[in-house]
Amino acid sequence: MGRRIGVLNYKGGTGKTTTVVNLGAALALRGARVLCIDLDAQGSLATCFGVSYKFSLSQLLLGQVGPRECVVQARDNLDLIPSDSTLIQAEGAMWRLNDNRQARQMLLRNTRGLDRMYDYVLLDFSPSASIVSECGLRYAQELIVPVRTSYLALVGTRQVVETLKHVGRVPGHHVRLYLTLPTFYSRRQRKDREVLAILRRHFTHRVAHPVRASVKLTEAPSHRQTIYEYSPRSSGASDYARLAERILRDG
């Protein structure tokens, strides 16, 4: 069974989608079978990968189609369950269910067995708390929290930690903080160095090597390419390769 890793921060602009796209690509290039699931109604993953699709996560959550019908190939060894604005309507239908516990189990239940086909399932969370996000937290086993090296981004990280404590009290469910990932990092900026020191003081060995600020990382999505297609020699490619190697080492 593959590892189910969510990428979550309740502060926008921390590099969640960038991380899912390029970490997924880095793992796939190393021979791992990867599935990315978009939990955000903005549908950024399909845009970044430049793929078209017939069915999305909303139809899967509502049981209108099976999981394999929603999966599209994005790259070699890398598949995607896309999302779009119809997820808002699906979320409304989920709220109207009489059984809230059942609604929060929809992702886990409707993708049953799918993770056996992959080595890694990466979930791209929305920056806002929602019932779909709660579904994702009940599906994920581990979380990577991207933290932009600014003081405001630390607020979103604290919210994630508090959410983990809440979810940890749900009987039979265990999701753990795997890594905090400093993003948009510039060693020349004193503020960035101070935020990195704060993260290392609080999270110690759970702090990954920083992803440096990179124009190439911000340009790649407009070309519908991963960083390994757009600029394979860039610092962004190197940093996400390093993150992938750590995940592979950790099993």
- Work out the burial of residue 83: count CB atoms within 10 Å of its CB; fewer than 13 is exposed, 13-18 middle, 19 or more buried: buried
Fold of 3-7+12-249: Rossmann fold (3.40.50)
| 177-187 tens-digit pLDDT | 999 999 999 99
Q: Which two tokens stand for residue 135?
A: 């579904």
- How much is the pLDDT for 172? 59
pLDDT, residue 93, reads: 84
pLDDT of residue 102: 76
Q: What is the pTM of this model?
A: 0.93
Q: Secondary structure of 111-145 in the HEC alphabet? A: CCCHHHHCCEEEEECCCCCCHHHHHHHHHCCEEEE
Listed as ranges, residues in the chain with pLDDT below 50 are none
d(CA 207, CA 196) in angstroms, rounded, equals 9
| Residue 86 to residue 118: CA distance in whole angstroms | 26
Look at residue 75 in the predicted model and tell me its pLDDT.
Answer: 98
Domain boundaries, the chain: 3-7+12-249
Q: How far apart are CA 165 and CA 150, in angstroms?
A: 24
At residue 169, the pLDDT reads 59
**What one-letter code names the amino acid at 239?**
D
pLDDT (tens digit per residue) in 131-160: 899 899 999 999 999 999 988 877 878 778
